[in-house]
Amino acid sequence: MAKITIHTPEEIEAMRRVGSEAADLLDFITPHVKAGVSTLALDELMLDYTVNVLKAKSACLGYNPGGNGIPYPRATCISVNNVICHGIPSEKKILKNGDIVNIDVTIEKDGFFGDNSRMFIIGKPTIAGKRLVDATWGCMWAGIEEVRPGKCFNDIGIACHNFVKPMGLSIVHEYGGHGIGRVFHGEPHVCHVPISTPTAKFEPGMIFTVEPMVNAGKRHIMDLNDGWTVVTKDRSLSAQWELEVVVTETGYDILTVSKGMPEPPTWVKGWKKPSFD
Ligand code: MF3
Ligand code: CO
Ligand code: CO
């Protein structure tokens, strides 16, 4: 098992600051996410806000892990309907009534990374779209609720899997959450399905994302030929939410919190959204 960073209290506070700014960026874009807008226009608004208001950098723009792929060409990922993740903002992609849209933003400031994503439904939700978006929100929280010292990363995958199983939805295997801090993608890789190899135990100071991708149809993925976009193989809808979690002495805390972040499901016991009044 590779080594997982234990963050100091000072580092955790720095991660809370950049995390809340990454969440503010999603609050900022929310009123603009509507029918008729292109995903590139949204991306340009978010890059401007990142640089000029947050005084931060996009961690996605030019991202090229390993150095042998195509550098990511835009500041954010915007994944619509059957796009699972890494949708590249485009002037040709115009949002329309009923679309389900994931906006995933990662910023870097003062040497720390903040990564989170939310779902948006354009105009009048379809029954299938709303059901998937809500189920994926619950799936993420079911995983997060497992986090406390003594439990292990596999407990997240078990809980996510058990949450969606009775609904006939499926969880993507190929992508998962990740450690985050002074690096964008660190150890461990967080699976949202159970795995048979041993996983690390949670320890206070670990910081990672929980970000399940849930498909309405089968779990299988397909890559488009742009080097980034991942779609469902069966063209079914896909949804994803992402938050950052820090392990505490007794449980967990969320680091990507803002006024506009939705309330957790009523059955969540380990965390309460702070008041922003
Ligand atoms: N934000 C994504 C994640 O949750 C990663 C996007 S990498 C990019 O880990 F290059 F596609 F932007
Ligand atoms: Co992300
Ligand atoms: Co992430």
Quote the mean pLDDT of the chain: 98
Ligand 1 within 6 A of 244 CB? no
What pTM was estimated for this model as a whole?
A: 0.98
Helix axes 153-164 and 127-144, enclosed angle (nearest 10): 150
- State yes or no: pLDDT of 148 exceeds 80: yes
**Ligand 1 centre distance from Cα of residue 102 (Å):** 12
Tokens of 234: 């069966």
User: Which H or E run contains 131?
Assistant: helix 127-144
d(CA 255, CA 176): 18
- Interval 24-45 mean pLDDT: 99
77 lines ligand 1 (CB under 6 A): yes
Report the nearest atom of ligand 1 relative to the CA of 60.
12
d(CA 109, CA 89): 23
Euclidean distance between CA atoms 191 and 212, whole angstroms: 8
| pLDDT over threshold 80, residue 111 | yes
Band the pLDDT of 2: cuts 50, 70, 90: confident
Atom of ligand 1 nearest to the CA of 184: 9
Which residue CA neighbors atom 2 of ligand 1 most closely? Answer: 104
Ligand 1 atom index nearest CA of 77? 12
pLDDT at 18: 99
Which pLDDT score is estimated for 153?
98
**In whole angstroms, what is the distance from residue 248 CA to residue 141 CA?**
17
- H or E stretch at 190: strand 186-190
Q: Which atom of ligand 1 is nearest to the CA of 104?
A: 1
Q: Give the residue from 156, 147, 160 showing the smallest Cα distance to 239.
A: 160
Q: Tell me how far the alpha carbon of residue 117 lies from the centroid of ligand 1, in angstroms.
A: 10
Q: Does the beta carbon of 206 sit less than 6 angstroms from any atom of ligand 1?
A: no
- The average pLDDT across 212-230 equals 98
- Asked if 242 and 116 touch (Cβ cutoff 8 Å), the reply is yes
Compute the distance from residue 121 Cα to the ligand 3 centre, in Å: 21
182's tokens: 């002074």
Q: Is pLDDT at 17 greater than 90 in this prediction?
A: yes
In the predicted structure, residue 1 carries a pLDDT above the cut 80: no
pLDDT of residue 133: 99
Say yes or no: CB of residue 146 within 6 Å of ligand 1: no
**Ligand 1 pocket, 60 CB below 6 A?**
yes
Query: Is the preceding omega at residue 198 within 30 degrees of 0, hence cis?
Result: no
Instruction: State CA 156 to chain mean position distance.
Output: 15
* Distance from the alpha carbon of residue 28 to the mean position of ligand 2, in angstroms: 17
Out of 26, 83, 106, mutate this one to test ligand 1's pocket (max ligand atoms within 8 Å of CB): namely 106
CA pair distance 67, 72, nearest whole angstrom: 11
User: Residue 230 corresponds to which tokens in the numbers above?
Assistant: 């991942």
Statement: residue 273 has pLDDT above 80: yes
pLDDT given for residue 25 in this prediction? 99
* Average confidence (pLDDT) over 43-51: 99
Rounded distance between C-alpha atoms, residue 171 and residue 220, angstroms: 9
In contact, 4 and 183? CB cutoff 8 Å: no
For tokens 């990507």, what's the residue? 256
pLDDT digits (tens, 9 = 90+) for 62-103: 999 999 899 999 999 999 999 999 999 999 999 999 999 999
Expressed in angstroms, the distance from the first to the final Cα of the chain is 43
Closest CA to 219 of 209, 207, 231: 231
For residue 177, how far is its CA from the centre of ligand 2 (angstroms)? 9
Supply the pLDDT for residue 155: 98
Distance 272 CA to ligand 3 centre (A): 22
**Using CA atoms, how far apart are residues 71 and 63, in angstroms rounded to an integer?**
5
Q: How many residues are listed for the chain in this entry?
A: 277
For ligand 1, whether the C-beta of 24 sits within 6 Å is: no
